[in-house]
Structure 1
Amino acid sequence: MKLSVSVTNYSWPEGIQQRLTDLAAFLDDTAVDTLWVADHLVQADPSCRTDEPMLEAYTVLGYLAAATRRLRLGTMVTAATFRAPALLVKAVTTLDVLSNGRAWLGIGAGYNTAEATAMGLFLPGTAERFERMSELLRLADQMWRGDHTAFLGEYLTAQQPIGSPRPVTAPHPPVLIGGTGERRTLRLVAQYGDACNLFDIPDGGAAIRRQLEVLDRHCADVGRRAEEIERTVTPALQDGERADALAERCRALADSGIQHVVVIARGRPLTSADLNCVAAAADWLES
């Protein structure tokens, strides 16, 4: 079981830069696997105001790459239509090169119409979003393989998609696809993903087990070994949660088939107490 942290809120009263730097340095010396960041231009947590501080994700990840030596780094997750596809692939590749092989590509179809409207971002209808995400993932694979031949999709055309330099991670940075749609999202995971990210629904793990069964069937359909795909979930830390309680929650999720837990703080920024809790739980899960 891996345990990771995702930063979704930058509203630290003592200041963003110092708190983020301290957070990264602390986690880099623990058993925590990955430091994720939300990829939004406005605060997307419905329990917060939309005008609370939110930093641009890939700038943050570049900063974190320089501030850490071990933690893996990625977005949880990037909406597929919010950036030009080749630019996103280049950003992830750059992060992988500068972090010496610690980058993820975290991707989803996108959902936040309020953010798109507020900030002038492109968010087409659902069917088109999934087709565009599929084309983006195929383009990423082509660029990471060093194939410069023209990419001609329904929505995306790239006449000479040059991916130089190649990623440090071989064969490429792992691709995490967020979402639980059983027909389209989990099919794309089976086709292109190295990890899925599911929702933490308080139903005793029933939804997770069902979704993982659906993923296994998609893997069989496309000729993929299901065990190649890392199964992740993103629960919220409880206020005042103890490390032993968090470790026990992780073990219960493991019983449902989860291999990697990514914790967030809902409605507030992460605190020192949160980080101490996660660090101790990660140690227990590793032992």
Structure 2
Amino acid sequence: MSIRLGYQMPNYSYGTPVAQLFPTVVAQAREAEAAGFDAVFVMDHFYQLPGIGSPDQPMLESYTTLSALSGVTDRIQLSAMVTGNTYRNPTLLAKTVTTLDVVSGGRAVLGIGAGWYELEHQQLGFEFGTFSERFARLDESLSIIVPMLRGERPTVDGRWYRTETAMNEPRLRDDLPVLLGGGGEKKTFRMAAQYAQHLNIICNPDEIPRKLAALDERCAEVGRDRSTLETSYLVMAVVDESGDKARAARDEHMRRTGVDLAAMDPERRKSVEARQFVGTPDDVAAQLQERVLDKGVDGLIVNMIANGHQPGIIELAGSTLRTLVG
């Protein structure tokens, strides 16, 4: 597995009737594949997230969506960004992602994290627990899922989960990759070092050197060769042939979520814009090279929340960003 350039869809509010929603998703996946992206990611949520939209905005169930996308694409890898561990029993999740791998011809990636969106848990009846409890559950869950992906039959009598020689058949392969996402230098990075093939790092760009140093430490602690763990950075980009149009699209998206950049004091605006990459493809590529890739991260997972659903935008971005990551 290698994911040097991924495309994430965090948003299904395209201004279309519901009947046209999934065709718009398909069009993005196909365009990403044609543009040379390595993987396409969808959200594993049931409500839209704060900062992106209101909870009642459209949100498709992730694994149903990914399975459908497997039938309309040929090469691109398929993953949630990232699966909320709290939403599924680990044995069910192992079976689900393995089935996705079988039906897609070996293109599934298990992206997984601890879960964090309390409103979904409260309203839909999922147990939320404390921050520490969610990470303990993820650790225990991975001790079940990873062996099941590898053809082993784990027996676990844990605090959160119980299995008895759990089987997982059929499997297409025994090396289905695991991706962890997050910025936690102790818990998330330690689990990535122990279980994962890829870590997607979420942080401000100026924090990347510290994050990579912490990851080096976690790998050393578990005796892992750090070079065997691929890394990427989660990017919010707005790209257009016109830089002014890109900035206008970003501003409009933010206004829809209740954020007016023009009204912010300079320090607050700088903080909000720290993880945004906006402009022409060449502008964005230069920003990403200097602020992210030169810091030592292997690849990029990009969402283009403001205009990625518009035909041609993914191709415009991909043709330039592909050259950055090899």
**Residue 37 of structure 1 contacts residue 57 of structure 1 at CA under 8 Å; is this kept in 2?**
yes
Q: In 2, are the aligned partners of 1:9 and 1:269 still within 8 Å (CA)?
A: no
Per the alignment, residue 284 of structure 1 pairs with 323
Cα pair 1:8 1:269 within 8 Å, conserved: no
What is the Cα-based RMSD across aligned positions, in Å?
1.9
User: How far has the Cα of 1:188 moved from its partner?
Assistant: 0.8
Provide, for residues 21-48 of structure 1, a one-character-per-residue CA deviation record: whole Å limited to 9, x for no partner. Answer: 2222222222111100011000014241
Provide the rounded CA distance (Å) in 2 between the counterparts of 1:251 and 1:179: 21
Please list the CA deviations of residues 133-188 of structure 1 after superposition, one character each: whole Å capped at 9, or x if unmatched: 111111112212322252222221111310111243xx322111111111211111
Distance 2:148 2:312 in 1: 42
Distance 1:235 1:175, change over 3 A: same
Q: Secondary structure at the match of 1:74?
A: strand
Matches within 5 A, 1:6-85: 6-14=8-16, 15-85=20-90
| Corresponding residue of 2:289 | 251
SS of equivalent to 1:238: strand
1:220 Cα deviation after fit: 0.6
Aligned to 1:176, the other structure's residue is in SS state: strand
Q: CA deviation at 1:267?
A: 5.9
Tell me which residue corresponds to 2:201: 198
Contact residue 9 and residue 305 of structure 2 kept, 8 A: no
- Unmatched 5+ residue regions in structure 2? 240-245, 247-278
Cα deviations by residue, 1:260-283 (Å, 9 ceiling, x for unpaired) = 211113467632253133222234
Matched ranges for 1:111-150 at <5 A: 111-150=116-155
| 2:143 partner letter | R
Q: Which runs of 5+ in 1 are unaligned?
A: none
Q: Provide Cα deviations, 1:232-265, integer angstroms capped at 9, x if missing partner.
A: 1111113623221232233221111111211113
Distance in 2, Cα, partners of 1:267 & 1:245: 17
Greater mean deviation of Cα atoms: 222-231 or 232-241: 232-241
Identical pairs, percent: 32
Deviation readout 1:204-224 (Å, 9 max, x if unpaired): x33111011001011011100
Written as runs of structure 1 = structure 2, the 5 A alignment for 1:170-185 is 171-185=174-188
- 8 Å contact kept, 2:178–2:195: yes
Partner of 1:216: 216
**CA offset digits 1:51-77 (Å, max 9, x no partner):** 111000000000011110010010101
Equivalent residue for 1:264, pick from 291, 303, 312:
303
Matches of 1:242 and 1:267 in 2, distance apart? 14
Higher mean C-alpha displacement, 262-271 vs 234-243: 262-271
CA apart distance, 1:286: 5.7
Normalised by the size of structure 1, how large is the TM-score? 0.92
Q: Does structure 1 retain, via aligned residues, the 8 Å contact 2:35–2:315?
A: no
- The residue type paired with residue 172 of structure 1 is D
**Could you say what secondary structure the match of 1:4 adopts?**
strand
The structure in which a higher percent of residues are helix is 2
Q: Which amino acid aligns with 2:103?
A: L
Q: Which has the larger radius of gyration?
A: 2
SS at match of 2:237: coil
Q: Tell me the distance in 2 between the aligned counterparts of 1:125 and 1:100.
A: 38
Tell me by how many angstroms 1:132 deviates: 1.1
Secondary structure, counterpart of 1:236 in structure 2:
strand
Q: Distance in 1 between matches of 2:203 and 2:236?
A: 8
- Give me the whole-angstrom Cα distance separating, in 2, the residues matched to 1:145 and 1:266: 35
SS at match of 1:54: coil
Size of the aligned set, in residue pairs, is: 282
1:47/1:267 contact within 8 Å kept = no
Q: Are the counterparts in 1 of residues 299 and 325 from structure 2 also a CA contact under 8 Å?
A: no
CA contact (8 A) 1:39 1:56 kept: yes
What is the CA–CA distance in structure 1 between the aligned matches of 2:321 and 2:232, rounded to whole Å? 15
